[in-house]
Structure 1
Amino acid sequence: MTYQQTLHWMFERLPMFQRQGASAFKKNLDHIILLCDRLGNPQTAYKTIHVGGTNGKGSTSHMLASVLQEQGYKTGLHTSPHLKDFRERIRVDGHLADESFVVQFIEQQKAFIAQNQLSFFELTVGMAFQYFKEQNVDVAIIEVGLGGRLDSTNIITPILSVITNIGLDHTAILGDTLEAIAAEKAGVIKPNIPVVIGERQTETTSVFDAKAEAVEAEISYASDFDYPELKSELKGSYQFKNKKTVQRAVEVLNQCTELSISEESLVKGIEKVTTNTGLLGRWQIIQESNPKIVCDTGHNKEGLTYVMKQLAEEMYKQLHIVLGVVSDKDLDSVLPLFPKHAIYYFSKPDVPRGLNSEELQQKAAAFSLEGKKFKKISEAFDAAKTAANAEDLIFIGGSTFVVAEII
């Protein structure tokens, strides 16, 4: 198969949470253990850092990878989902995995995948582990896909675990309280492995403290420390907490592991994160002016709270919002966050989980968010650009998939 044929086979044949929702989520680690056993457990061939949490885990993972690259470590980075190219999920020193490797890996494992009914995520986690081994990385940053305890990435024994924060997302799978979700995320805390928690939250601190004590893991909260504000190519003001988490993580790595990271590498790594790792979609300015166009992948209550706060700091004559969501999103919690003075352009992301534009428009109207509906995200974006004046601002968001279709 060609690379494109390989991707088509993967997307069409394998259960994929991002497209299908909870039905694609595996509630055990059996299949990823089988795959990695077959591969010779490549995840044991290099050091790993495990990063989980509700919001900010992608940005934090990219910043950590950038810092390690600046220090000269050959660094793998596994994140999800991807926006434009599948290989965004698997990078080494910022470079996407080779197309030939993806094709060869699928060809070699195709029968095993079918026989054992692997999910899309299980397959890509094993693929990343194998690629990092073949590339002989020094360390790999492994971002949790969903939850922690039962996430396919949770077969690694890292040198450091990081949990950014806890919010109400994926409640049908992880639980409907912050405490329950924290218990699932705490599954990445390993015996005698230090863990950094990004934010000390009233509802979750006791959960994390209890788990860390039970497994004798040294625990610290980045929010307890006073670190200087560092510059970054990531412009959203909400990145302040993620940067602080990275600063604490680097401090712990220097204290508790064989890695040695200078202050210069920390500063440069955080500053040059998008240059070094190619991170997309976090308060990404698509067009600087005439009109200014910004997109962001924030999609749950906590993430959108930060994004809307950032949006409120912008100067414009009229705000235009291209909005799409997935059908399992708790709209009663997220729609009240959006500004009522904006003109809305509703559309359905091009995935099976996408909520149809008519239903979104009707639900939004109940919260005094008014606008027109469109069949495609691209059509909604075109309409916003046509309507906007030079002094206006266009914001695109509500879902990772909306941003992916635009950029």
Structure 2
Amino acid sequence: MIKPGLERIQEALNKLGNPQEKHKLIHVAGTNGKGSTIAFMRAIAKEHNLTYGSFTSPCLIDVHDQIQINGNNVTEDQMDKAFQKLRLAGISGMLTDFELLTVVAFLIFEEHDLDIVFLESGMGGRLDSTNVIQHSLAVIPSISIDHTNFLGDTIEKISWHKAGILKEHGKLIIGEIPQSAKEVVDKEVKEKQAELIEINKDFKMIGKSYTYHNHQFSDLMPQMLGSHQLSNMALAITAILESEFALDEEKVQRAVSMAALPGRMEKWSERTYMDGAHNKASIDALVETIKQYFPNERIHFIIGILKDKDYMYILKRLEEIAASFEFVDFKHERALDANILFKHCTHSEKRITKDINNIDLISENEEVVTIVTGSLYLITELKGINR
């Protein structure tokens, strides 16, 4: 169950001696781009021999991949020891699943001497359990409509949640956001007497070159596809610099060329890609990426979507570039019935696969490029079947 609010987790962390305050933190919230921005930061940290932890969501295989130390998933033993600490501190029954996992992440980070911790907000920001920290550098890659049942049905309401990760007298780094969102962010910055650092104003990407004050890095070529990844890369570089780490141009070049994130235009095979786009902004980015990289290809979409997503918009955008559709039922409790997608899709080439085990991603179809999209949960399930 999702229960926004910080009172429960703050009480739990107080009982544990507030492990969340031990490290330097970069806190990332936003509608899209959080995971990619953290992937770039992890790669940059690794190339510069920094020790780092990260807490991200959702999981791609299981909860162990949400908490990483120096790029390695936490072990079952590490997680078991953290849960024993929770039990001994009398925290059983106090927290939701995500709150528990957040506390476990802080406990595991506390066991390590880390230069930096990268923290991804689960949903929203202001009332998300990750926002229990007192000091952090805040990063918001994007703001658009999503999770309206929890965050509100307007950009302004959603922006209020995202901007809430900014701390008093802190710093906030933002990507391109709508003007209505920017007005909310500006108000938050003013109220907290903080500093705002904006893309295309304070730091810039011009072609393959990044500039910020006296810092300049050229020939930056990320492997993650899509022009939006240049923005996420620039945010990541700026965040590391603002965290007072010196960066070397060659190491930054290597880092961004190696940074990758499962489920974000992830190349599964020569002709198959996986992208967890599930809202308007991410679907728009996916469509533009496909147009850019596969302009003359026939595109076959394998799609599964959660019930609370704007599936009509998703279908409309993908129909612009699709050669065919395959709608899938998957196991998530909020998964939308594939029959509904089939009914509302106006494309002539479409079919339903009720049993996800019948989808073969191993065999190559040379006539099409296959894109799996609509939900990271669908991608997780398909990966398990097609490993």
TM-score by length of 1: 0.85
**Alignment correspondent of 1:88:** 65
CA distance in 2, matches of 1:201, 1:317: 32
- What SS does the aligned partner of 1:361 have? helix
Which residue in 2 is equivalent to 1:248? 238
Deviations 1:96-150 (A, max 9, x none): 112101123234435845432x211101110111111102212100011100110
SS class of match (2:93): helix
Aligned partner (choices 337, 345, 352) of residue 364 of structure 1: 345
Please tell me the residue identity of whatever aligns with 1:233.
Q
SS at match of 2:79: helix
SS of corresponding position for 1:285:
strand
On the 8 A contact 2:300/2:368 being kept in 1, the answer is yes
Q: Which has the higher helix share?
A: 1
| 1:395 paired to 2:375 | no
- Give the Cα–Cα distance (whole angstroms) in 2 for the partners of residues 339 and 363 of structure 1: 11
Out of 264, 273, 282, the position equivalent to 2:264 is 282
Q: 1:312 aligns with which of 291, 305, 311?
A: 291
Stretch of structure 1 that moved more, 63-72 or 133-142: 63-72
Distance 2:240 2:365 in 1: 45
Query: How far apart, CA to CA, are the structure 2 residues paired with 1:302 and 1:335?
Result: 14
Distance, in Å, in 2 between the alignment partners of 1:158 and 1:342 is 49
3-state SS of 1:154 partner: helix
Distance 2:351 2:367 in 1: 21
Amino acid at match of 1:248: T
- Cα distance in 1 for partners of 2:374, 2:2 equals 22
Within the candidate set 26, 29, 35, 2:12 is matched to 35
Q: CA deviation at 1:370?
A: 4.3
Superposition deviation, residue 272 in structure 1? 2.1
Matched residue of 1:345: which SS?
strand
- What is the 5 A alignment of 1:231-242? 231-242=221-232
Q: CA deviation at 1:317?
A: 5.0
SS of match in other structure, 2:179: coil
Alignment of 1:103-142 (within 5 A): 103-110=80-87, 112-116=90-94, 118-142=95-119
Once residues 284 and 141 of structure 2 are traced to their aligned partners in structure 1, the CA distance between those partners, rounded to angstroms, is 16
Query: Which of 272, 293, 299 matches 2:272?
Result: 293
Say if 2:336 is the partner of 1:355: yes
Alpha-carbon distance in structure 2 between the residues aligned to 1:208 and 1:265:
33
How many angstroms apart in 1 are the aligned matches of 2:235 and 2:319? 30
- Where do 1:153-164 residues align within 5 Å? 153-164=130-141
Distance in 2 between residues matched to 1:158 and 1:66, nearest whole Å:
23
Q: How far, CA to CA, are the matches of 2:87 and 2:329 in structure 1? A: 32
Q: Give SS of 2:180's match.
A: coil
Task: Assess if the C-alpha contact under 8 Å between 1:50 and 1:158 holds in 2.
Answer: no
Kindly indicate whether the alpha-carbon contact (under 8 Å) linking 1:316 and 1:393 is maintained by their aligned counterparts in 2.
no
Tell me which protein shows more strand as a share of its residues. 2
In 2 relative to 1, CA 158–67 (structure 1 residues): closer, same or farther, beyond 3 Å? farther
The answer on whether the counterparts of 1:192 and 1:216 sit within 8 Å (CA) in structure 2 is yes
SS at match of 1:196: strand
Q: Distance in 2 between matches of 1:56 and 1:223?
A: 17
Distance between the aligned counterparts of 1:315 and 1:300, measured in 2? 23
Paired AA for residue 177 in structure 1? T
Q: What one-letter code is carried by the residue in structure 2 that aligns with 1:283?
A: M
Q: Which one is further off, 369-378 or 295-304?
A: 369-378
Distance in 2 separating the partners of 1:369 and 1:301: 23
1:161–1:333 CA distance, 2 compared to 1 (3 A): same
Contact 1:253 1:260 (C-alpha < 8 Å) held by counterparts:
no
Q: Secondary structure at the match of 1:396?
A: strand
1:173 to 125, 146, 150: 150
Pairing partner for 2:77 from 93, 96, 100: 100
Shift of 1:206: 1.2
- How far apart, in 2, do the equivalents of 1:178 and 1:390 lie? 42
Q: Which runs of 5+ in 1 are unaligned?
A: 1-23
Instruction: Work out which of the residue numbers 128, 131, 141 in structure 2 matches 1:151.
Output: 128
Q: Establish whether residue 334 from structure 1 lines up as the match of residue 314 from structure 2.
A: yes
1:74 matched to 2:51? yes
**TM-score of the superposition, structure 2-length normalised?**
0.89
- Once superposed, which parts of structure 1, at least 4 consecutive aligned residues long, lie more than 6 Å away? none
Which residue of the other structure, out of 185, 196, 200, is the alignment partner of 1:219?
A: 196
Does 2:358 align with 1:376? Answer: no
Alignment partner of 1:129: what SS?
A: helix
- Find the partner of 1:269 among 255, 259, 267: 255
Identity %: 31
- Give 2:232's aligned amino acid: N
For structure 2, the 5+ residue unaligned runs are 209-219
Report the Cα distance in structure 2 between the residues aligned to 1:247 and 1:223, rounded to whole angstroms: 14
